[in-house]
Structure 1
């Protein structure tokens, strides 16, 4: 189960071709059902997989928090993932997935781990129209065989952790400081984010900064909108900055990830000067290094609106100086 931690550089390079690795696992069966669904989480969110450790339950701790575990000298909260999704594990909670999310570490208890698969983001569909659960962000098609195409439900980790500890995700939104920017009239920020709770956080923050924006749930949707605005700018004989103030994108998204979206922008002569800010829960030096390699102008870990405000201020100042 430690094999997934190897070849980190190779996995990072997958992002240059709009690909990623998905860990597949099972949580048990929903009430009154016999089959077990296959669930997935991006390998980049995982630090390690370990057998269920001994837990210490603090006073007042209630489900879905199971207790605290000492894993390699670090005290980590363990979360009952089947309880959140509404499944009953037949063989118990046997495995713990230790995850790194937005500079925090937590562990999710699951029934079993199946496999790690390499997929293209084009095999991943946004789940908003087809899955009712608020905790599922997308659906992954595990192969391209129309007759036999197993699916995996990709978890919305942002939503799950927000529901468990909502106060930690909204503290910076209560600031009374007014954040304003001088943008060209008519220009907007293009936002790409597939998580509902993350979109809500970004929308609140941008409204507080008085930044006009348009949101999209996939990188491909955002890319199509960027191209449309670029065509309008060309037809009007204007620079693209008159239409797009900056792009704010997540990394993990159906159809096209944030790495590929950034590469597409920076490789296009007409678009390359658009500031791109990556806003992601995929923290860690490997991801931040790759953000720089694809040409992004800034990287901000979720969810710190103050840091996002600073990043926006900096990239806009750099662009203003470049055209002055």
Structure 2
């Protein structure tokens, strides 16, 4: 456990190498789950929890940790499994994370180890898994299936974000409305794709979506195989960082290395807000970075880029 605690925030060397490090953990049972270490601030033994009146059962309480009052979400309950029994709290662990500009803790039964992996070894969930599954990806470790949790889906249900664009911004976009080329949105989370698409549609933009960097790169290459410029087809690209098969950093690198694609504007749009370093974005050549998810901020930025503002 000491090794896990010491390693959590020392991972910037993986940027641009299509690699990630997974923190492996267990809920109630033998199944192993994973979460990207980049989103983890700290792992600790479950602290004393204070109850919150009228809160949802999945929020087991709050804890005062390093000057912050942090909600603690029972991850088992959040994905539809039985929660951690009260008598087992003292022997459980909390993974403190930062997603979408907020800090929260996830209660888990046990934390195993950190594993360095290649994104090419991370696969999308099986097609038959259904829309309600709480996974963004799966992989194999020691011949055992590891399920990578869709934390954005959990948080959208536990603590929903405002997804609507401010009416004043929508009015401004309508006033300056003209036909624009589509925006390509690349994100492995169905929740994130929906949120971004809804935001862009509200300001009159057409949206094309893909689930990972490899899909997106193949799509870009198919658009330009006739020798046309990518800017004849798209206004800009908005990409997540964490994605199976090819991550956002690698996608940006491949785009900027390609003479036919390099002129397209690429924004990295990620929930890695806490441990994210802007130098990482510059290292791979992205044109912009924005932390998820502020519909007004995203709408304003896209309007500025396409000349609607």
With normalisation by structure 2, the TM-score equals 0.89
Q: Which residue of 2 aligns with 1:44?
A: 38
**Distance across 1 between alignment mates of 2:7 and 2:109:** 26
Give how far 1:87 is off: 3.2
**Distance across 2 between alignment mates of 1:291 and 1:5:** 26
Give how far 1:67 is off: 0.7
Deviation track 1:133-157 (CA, whole Å, cap 9, x = no partner) reads: 4311111223xxxxx6222111111
Deviation track 1:270-303 (CA, whole Å, cap 9, x = no partner) reads: 2111000111101136443201221111111111
**Distance across 2 between alignment mates of 1:245 and 1:73:** 43
Greater RCO, 1 or 2 (C-alpha within 8 Å, sep 6+) = 2
**How many matched pairs?**
299
**What secondary structure sits across from 1:291 in the alignment?**
helix
**Distance across 1 between alignment mates of 2:38 and 2:2:** 14
Alpha carbon RMSD of aligned pairs, Å?
2.3
Question: Are positions 1:173 and 2:165 aligned together?
Answer: yes
Q: Which residue of 2 aligns with 1:81?
A: 75
Q: Which residue of 2 aligns with 1:304?
A: 294
Q: Which residue of 2 aligns with 1:97?
A: 95
Contact kept in structure 1, 2:185 and 2:239, CA below 8 Å = yes
Distance 1:245 1:116, change over 3 A: same
Distance 1:9 1:84, change over 3 A: closer
With normalisation by structure 1, the TM-score equals 0.85
Q: Which residue of 2 aligns with 1:141?
A: 140
Distance 1:10 1:65, change over 3 A: closer
**What secondary structure sits across from 1:207 in the alignment?**
helix
Gapped regions of structure 1 (runs ≥ 5):
30-35, 143-147, 318-324
Contact kept in structure 2, 1:69 and 1:77, CA below 8 Å = yes
**What secondary structure sits across from 1:247 in the alignment?**
strand
Gapped regions of structure 2 (runs ≥ 5):
none
Q: Which residue of 1 aligns with 2:242?
A: 252
**Distance across 2 between alignment mates of 1:61 and 1:138:** 30
Q: Which residue of 2 aligns with 1:106?
A: 104
Distance 1:128 1:298, change over 3 A: farther
Contact kept in structure 1, 2:32 and 2:145, CA below 8 Å = yes
Q: Which residue of 1 aligns with 2:27?
A: 27
